[in-house]
């Protein structure tokens, strides 16, 4: 993602060059030999999608520092609407047009549901994003689309904590945003994708033992969201599983041990 580092890696400055999954796709560079990945997130045929040799790590494949719990603020203080409120907390470049039909179905299926997205910034990309979604959902339903500008991490946590449900994005799943949602106890629904980048959120939920949050297909994701957003039992069970398992999920020492093993093997033991 950093063009200076990409150029350095392409030039082969290191005798051995590895990458990790901050950007969850192959580099495509012949001088990068190995890719540290989350083994639990990868599909069975994962190696075929990478130029590098995969080095799997357990759990999340990383140790993630959870943020402090946010101050609970009212929706009126946050500028959010009342009623049922779903959020898509991804950057706009992750919200591909394949997702538009999901949002249209959500708003059509529940006339009291509002949907929060980011993309209120005064940029050409944000303007195109808003126009595209407004067209997809229709003029009447577009009134229940709420676009927020880029905000601080603390404000982001406060905002998602005030929502009822997170809708994961197809193709490129939530990573940090999903972990932040779990941190504030926000239930999530998702649909597992073909590649690791579309399986992050689903893997987190599976490792936490959360059931009933995974749609069988993209077409089913909106229907699942409509079922779960008003389901108190699901919300309570979701939060209970998160309370019991999140710390172990994000701070798994097995990741450190696996990383050290990979490094020792590369150095010849």
Domains and CATH numbers, the chain: 3-63+252-266 (3.40.50.11380), 75-250 (3.40.50.2000)
Residue-wise pLDDT tens digits, 15-24: 889 998 878 8
Over residues 77-87, the pLDDT tens digits come to: 999 999 999 99
pLDDT of residue 129: 96
Cα–Cα dist 142/136, whole Å: 9
Distance in angstroms (rounded) separating the CA atoms of residues 256 and 252: 8
Residues 6+ apart with CB under 8 A from 246: 66, 182, 183, 208
Six token digits for residue 172: 């490129």
Q: Which structure tokens are listed for 6?
A: 């990409």
**Non-local CB neighbours of 231 within 8 Å, separated by 6+ positions:** none
pLDDT tens by residue, 123-182: 999 999 999 999 999 999 999 999 999 999 999 999 999 999 999 999 999 999 999 999
Total Cβ atoms within 10 A of residue 193: 20
Find out whether 139 and 107 touch, Cβ atoms under 8 Å: no
**67-117 tens-digit pLDDT:** 999 999 999 999 999 999 999 999 999 999 999 999 999 999 999 999 999
Query: Which pLDDT does position 1 carry in this prediction?
Result: 73
Q: Where does the chain have alpha helices with state H?
A: 3-11, 75-78, 100-109, 124-137, 153-161, 176-183, 200-207, 218-228, 232-250, 253-266
| Averaged pLDDT for residues 222-226 | 97
Q: Give percent helix, percent strand, percent coil of the chain, each to the nearest 5.
A: 45, 15, 40
| Spatial separation of the C-alpha atoms in residues 146 and 40, rounded to whole Å | 35
Residues 53, 37 contacting (CB under 8 angstroms)? no
Per DSSP, 205 falls in state H
Q: Which of 91, 92, 106 is nearest to 141 (CA)?
A: 106
Give the torsion sign (CA, 196, 200, 202, 205): positive
pLDDT band at 3 (very low <50, low <70, confident <90, very high): confident
Predicted local distance difference test score (pLDDT) of residue 145: 97
* pLDDT band at residue 269 under the 50/70/90 scheme: low
12: three-class secondary structure by DSSP: coil
Q: How far apart are CA 249 and CA 184, in angstroms?
A: 15
């Amino acid at each position: 993602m950093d063009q200076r580092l990409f150029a350095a890696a392409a030039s082969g400055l290191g005798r051995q060059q590895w990458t990790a999954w901050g950007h969850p796709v192959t580099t495509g560079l012949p001088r990068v030999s190995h890719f540290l990945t989350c083994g639990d997130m990868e599909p069975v045929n994962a190696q075929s999608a990478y130029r590098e040799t995969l080095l799997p790590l357990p759990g999340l494949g990383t140790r993630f520092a959870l943020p402090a719990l946010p101050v609970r603020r009212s929706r009126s203080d946050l500028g959010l609407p009342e009623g049922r409120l779903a959020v898509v907390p991804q950057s706009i470049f992750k919200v591909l047009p394949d997702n538009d039909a999901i949002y249209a179905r959500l708003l059509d299926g529940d006339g009291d549901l509002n949907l929060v997205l980011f993309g209120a910034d005064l940029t050409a990309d944000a303007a195109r994003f808003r126009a595209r979604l407004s067209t997809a959902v229709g003029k009447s339903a577009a009134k229940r689309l709420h676009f927020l500008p880029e905000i601080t991490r603390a404000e982001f946590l406060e905002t998602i904590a005030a929502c009822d449900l997170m809708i994961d994005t197809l193709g490129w799943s939530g990573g940090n945003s999903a972990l932040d949602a779990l941190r504030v106890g926000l239930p999530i629904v998702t649909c597992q994708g073909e590649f690791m980048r579309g399986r992050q959120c689903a893997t987190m939920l599976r490792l936490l033992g959360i059931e009933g949050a995974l749609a069988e297909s993209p077409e089913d994701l909106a229907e699942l969201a409509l079922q779960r957003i008003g389901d108190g039992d699901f919300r309570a069970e979701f939060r209970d599983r998160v309370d019991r398992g999140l710390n172990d999920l994000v701070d798994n020492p097995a990741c450190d041990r696996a990383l050290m093993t990979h490094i020792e093997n590369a150095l010849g033991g």
